Amino acid sequence: MTVPYLPFAKPAIDEATIAGVVEVLRNGWLTGGPKVRQFEEKLSDYFGGRPVRTFNSGTGTMEIALRIAGIGAGDEVVTTPISWVATANVILTVGATPVFVDIDLATRNIDLGLIEAAITPRTRAIMPVFLAGLPMDMDKLYAIAKRHQLRVIEDAAQAFGSSWKRNPLGSFGDLVSFSFQANKNITTGEGGCLVLNTAEEAFLAEQYRLQGVIRSGFDGMEVNVLGGKFNMSDIAAAIGIGQLAQLEALNRTRLALARHYFSVFGEHFEAQYDVRLPPANFTDSNWHMFQIVLPETIRRTDFIAAMKEREIGVGVHYPPIHLFALYRRLGFREGMFPVAERIGRQIVTLPLFSTMTEQDIDRVVDAVKSILDDKMRLK
């Protein structure tokens, strides 16, 4: 009997969204225009009226956030080694230096207790990441930033719809960056948005995203800062408008599926198999991913291959950034961030997306248990 392949992530685009994109294609205004403005207004409403600007990727969004914060050569930015490499890459792109801090074993996010020891006179910002959409103690994070007069650029790429004390991430805080890449909880194909503090910052974001150009009147144009090409198209914005309307339903489904994972794995699974499930947070997380940490006795590549034989996709999010060749050349080595290295070696992302069924999850859990049983018998 053959079973259909189950990927670890899959977007859910409804018919209304498709109709919205078709309308843009028919109308003929494809680049950033009325749909981008409409999407930004809707996003701003969602974030409690704060200014929001969109971009063509989450990476570009973070780079522009750093530029708006005035971060560049000679500056240090404190961040986590367990993230998509873009988080640290953008710090290098603007000419600043990433300063990694180890992660917390349970949350897999930056260890807030270790941040202050990493702060130097050159530190200008903290760039936290909410892995799998799980926020950290946001009060504690902003207290540290305030105490040391640091900017906070939240890499909330995975956390659209997550919240802290019932407030959506992005509706409070400093600069908050989201991604709409295809695997995120809501997508525009590729894209991102930045929540800002003031109209001045929003104006700067507009300049940085499109060659620094400032327009006035019918023919007036000035260039004052060096900008790049980071603007979102109306095609992408139309997808985003449709996705934003689905957000609540999509995230509600993810939450229910995550709960189902816990109930099928069962209470004794962690102890019995020496596996770590994610924190069972059903209030703040948007359940962007469901990640488990395998026992050290099992090789991750063998586990992934065995899942693939069973037609189940597994992701790796993420190998530690500091051990990539580019970062080793900057002086980073094994042993510097032991928790991140352990998690980075053994973490796997199981399938979780809004069009999955509970039966799909039962299949995944059966597969995980049978593979772990096999490997443990072989020992």
Query: What's the N-to-C CA distance of the chain in angstroms?
Result: 30
Q: Which of 81, 192, 240, 278 binds ligand PLP (CB under 6 A)?
A: 192
47, 53, 141, 167 from 173: Cα distances, Å: 11, 16, 10, 11
The 92-131 contact track toward ligand PLP, x by CB under 6 A, reads: -------------------------------------x--
Catalytic residue among 140, 146, 184, 379: 184
Is 184 a known active-site residue?
A: yes
Assess 57 for contact with ligand PLP (CB under 6 A). Answer: yes
Closest-by-Cβ residue to ligand PLP is 58
Q: Which is nearer to ligand PLP, 54 or 59 (CB)?
A: 59
Pairing between β-strand 52-55 and β-strand 192-195 as defined by DSSP bridges: antiparallel
Which token pair is 373? Answer: 């049983």
CB of 192 to ligand PLP, least distance (A): 5
Assess 231 for contact with ligand PLP (CB under 6 A). Answer: no
Alpha-helix runs per DSSP H in 138-278: 138-147, 199-209, 234-265, 269-273
Assess 59 for contact with ligand PLP (CB under 6 A). Answer: yes
Q: Which is nearer to ligand PLP, 58 or 227 (CB)?
A: 58
What are 199-204's contacts with CB under 8 Å, separation 24+?
199/51, 201/51, 201/68, 201/175, 202/51, 202/52, 202/53, 204/67, 204/68
76, 151, 200 from 148: Cα distances, Å: 13, 9, 24
- C-alpha span between 129 and 4 (Å, rounded): 33
User: For residues 136-175, which are near ligand PLP according to CB under 6 A?
Assistant: 155, 157-158
In degrees and rounded to multiples of 5, residue 120 shows phi and psi of -125, 175
Q: Which of 274, 305, 277, 303 is nearest to 291 (CA)?
A: 277
Q: Which is nearer to ligand PLP, 75 or 155 (CB)?
A: 155
Assess 285 for contact with ligand PLP (CB under 6 A). Answer: no
* Tokens 């000679």 found at: 74
Which run of H or E residues covers position 292? strand 290-293
CB of 343 to ligand PLP, least distance (A): 14
CB of 173 to ligand PLP, least distance (A): 16
Assess 83 for contact with ligand PLP (CB under 6 A). Answer: yes
* Helices and strands (H, E) in the chain, number of each type: 13, 13
**Strand spans (E) along 161-201:** 163-164, 167-168, 175-179, 192-195
Q: Which is nearer to ligand PLP, 91 or 365 (CB)?
A: 91
CB of 368 to ligand PLP, least distance (A): 23
Q: Which is nearer to ligand PLP, 76 or 190 (CB)?
A: 190
Q: How many residues bind ligand PLP (CB under 6 A)?
A: 14
Assess 354 for contact with ligand PLP (CB under 6 A). Answer: no
Assess 87 for contact with ligand PLP (CB under 6 A). Answer: yes
Q: Which residues contact 249 (CB under 8 A, 6 or more apart)?
A: 354
Q: Which of 65, 66, 68, 86 binds ligand PLP (CB under 6 A)?
A: 86
Residues that bind ligand PLP (CB under 6 A): 57-59, 83-84, 86-87, 129, 155, 157-158, 179, 181, 192
Residues marked as catalytic: 184
